[in-house]
């Protein structure tokens, strides 16, 4: 099993070029910055300028972009348009990725209202909870269903990614169901470590932990 626990990592898959895991992560950042530049009518950027916007070193940016061959022109910089396209291709954002969300507590509900997902190419098809009736009153945008319907739903809609927001003690159990149903990527907000088979990728976002390590790094 592979945990991309807030840093991390993966062995590369055959048909893809060998792109460092961290580079992939940064590509998303570059993409954001480039969109802003594009809106401002910029047509080219130097590695220096883009790096500054993304908060990395220029050399790092060039190395990252170097994975895709010759993209820039020396003495000039990189064409914004081309860069955006290339990154989009690599991240596979051409089509809208279907996603489901499990566990409609406070956090789950907030994430359902978060519009950033759709903006970045993900569509939350449905949300699942053990007690959907209790939540009916809320103004949810997506269909809310009972857990029992989850597995057939995943198969039917070929869902490959899930956002997991259930309480810690149900994390593993639900993860097992997700994996059994064919989910290959889990974004885990449950404050627990889940064990999954080799081919499944888990990214953990643990809010309390983020605060905890942050507090260590600030001067005392």
Residues in the site for DNA, rule: CB under 7 A?
9, 20-23, 45-48, 56-60, 62-63, 65-66, 70-78
Residue 104 interacts with which of its own copies, DNA, none, CB < 5 to 8 Å by class: none
Asked if 134 is part of the footprint of its own copies (rule: CB under 8 A), the reply reads: no
Does 90 bind its own copies (CB under 8 A)? Our answer is: yes
- Among 37, 54, 100, 101, contact with its own copies (rule: CB under 8 A): 54
Two tokens, residue 38: 């594009």
Site for its own copies contains 42 (CB under 8 A): no
**Cβ at position 215, least distance to its own copies in Å:** 6
| Cβ(89)–Cβ(69) below 8 Å | no
Query: Is residue 38 involved in binding its own copies (CB under 8 A)?
Result: no
Least spacing, CB of residue 207 vs its own copies, in Å = 6
132 binds, among its own copies, DNA, none (CB under 5 to 8 A by kind): none
x-marked contacts with its own copies along 159-198 as a string, rule CB under 8 A? -xx-x--------------------xxxx---xxx-x---
Q: Which among its own copies, DNA, none contacts residue 62 (Cβ within 5 to 8 A by kind)? A: DNA
Tokens 């592979």, residue located = 2
């Amino acid at each position: 099993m592979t945990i991309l626990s807030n840093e991390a990592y993966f062995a590369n898959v055959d048909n893809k070029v060998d792109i460092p895991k961290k580079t992939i992560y940064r590509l998303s950042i570059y993409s954001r910055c480039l969109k802003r530049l594009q809106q401002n009518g910029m047509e080219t950027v130097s590695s220096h300028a883009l790096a500054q916007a993304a908060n990395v070193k220029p050399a790092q940016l060039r190395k990252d972009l170097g994975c895709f061959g010759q993209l820039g022109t020396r003495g000039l910089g990189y064409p914004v348009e081309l860069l955006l396209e290339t990154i989009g291709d690599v991240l596979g954002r051409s089509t809208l990725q279907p996603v489901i969300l499990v566990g409609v507590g406070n956090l789950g509900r907030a994430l359902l209202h978060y519009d950033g997902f759709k903006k970045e190419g993900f569509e939350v098809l449905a949300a699942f909870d053990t007690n959907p009736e209790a939540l009916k009153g809320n103004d949810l945008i997506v269909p809310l269903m009972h857990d029992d319907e989850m597995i057939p739903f995943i198969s039917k809609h070929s869902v490959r990614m899930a956002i997991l927001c259930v309480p810690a003690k149900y994390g593993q159990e639900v993860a097992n169901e997700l994996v059994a149903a064919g989910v290959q990527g889990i974004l885990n907000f449950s404050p627990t470590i889940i064990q999954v088979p080799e081919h499944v990728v888990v990214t953990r976002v643990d809010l309390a932990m983020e605060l905890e390590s942050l507090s260590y790094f600030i001067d005392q």
